[in-house]
Structure 1
Amino acid sequence: MRLTVNGTDHTLDELEPEMPLLWALRDVLGVHGPKYGCGIAQCGACTVHIDGQAVRSCQVPVGDVWGDVTTIEGLGTPEAPHPVQAAWIAHQVAQCGYCQSGQIMQAASLLAEVPEPSDAEIDNAMSGNLCRCGTYPRIRAAVKAAARAMREGT
């Protein structure tokens, strides 16, 4: 089985195809950005992109992965953060930080599809990503700021 994660190809022949992608990422490949939250695709802490689409990695069997996987580690770099990552920092979204990688991945997927989302579109897209600290107003502000930055190319 071959898997491309954050631009790096991996051969994972020793894995059972039914293993959740989350466990393959965390336990086999050492990619710890996606978090285990609930295990039933309800909290969003494990959100990654497969070919740009936000998915809950706790529910995708590694044998069913249909394209390249991007995690928070592959979204941007410290030197060149993705606009969503930069907006998260600027708006001081994170408190405990546990859910943030999933939140950021979900927001990046939204902005790739909807470059100028309304409040309702942001709330709808982000509703499946839970934040126990309740930073939802900052999340919405950061998504709007990132959308603006992406449109302006900054």
Structure 2
Amino acid sequence: MNRLRLLSSIAALALCGSALAQQPAPQPAPAAQPAMEQLTPEQRAALAKQDADMGQAALQVMQLVDGNRIGEVWDGASAAMKQMVNRDEFIKQVTIDRNRLGAVASRAAPEVSRSLFRAGQQVPEGLYINVRSATRFANSAEPVRELVSFRLDEDRVWRVSGYSLR
């Protein structure tokens, strides 16, 4: 199976009940994201499905944050994220940010991107999927970029690796 085919077979994060649960990704990650024009129609369709699945997973993470269930996000997060920030600090910072902005008024459709980080960069090495949404909050005149990042962990499972507002 070639590297392009591998990208199309990465599984999406699944959320189970009120806590985060994951499904393993069946294939190893490629070294880089191929250009869309190099993909077959089947591979493009698989990427579109993955984008939709990851967008839905990110929305569920955002809704956990909306419901002040921030600890559940951290509980199901990647070990890489847990090494960078402890549970209490994550909950504290997200709570401060969200309280400052107020209630969610609306969210735009999610935008999905992929990144590959190598050793020595600011974040742990690995393949990431980032889901952004322009979100309007009660206390902000302009939309805020709400970002949920997922990391493909060593056990081939996508897990939350970050949540931020800018």
Shared fold (TM-score, shorter chain, > 0.5): no
| Greater gyration radius | 2
Bigger strand fraction: 2
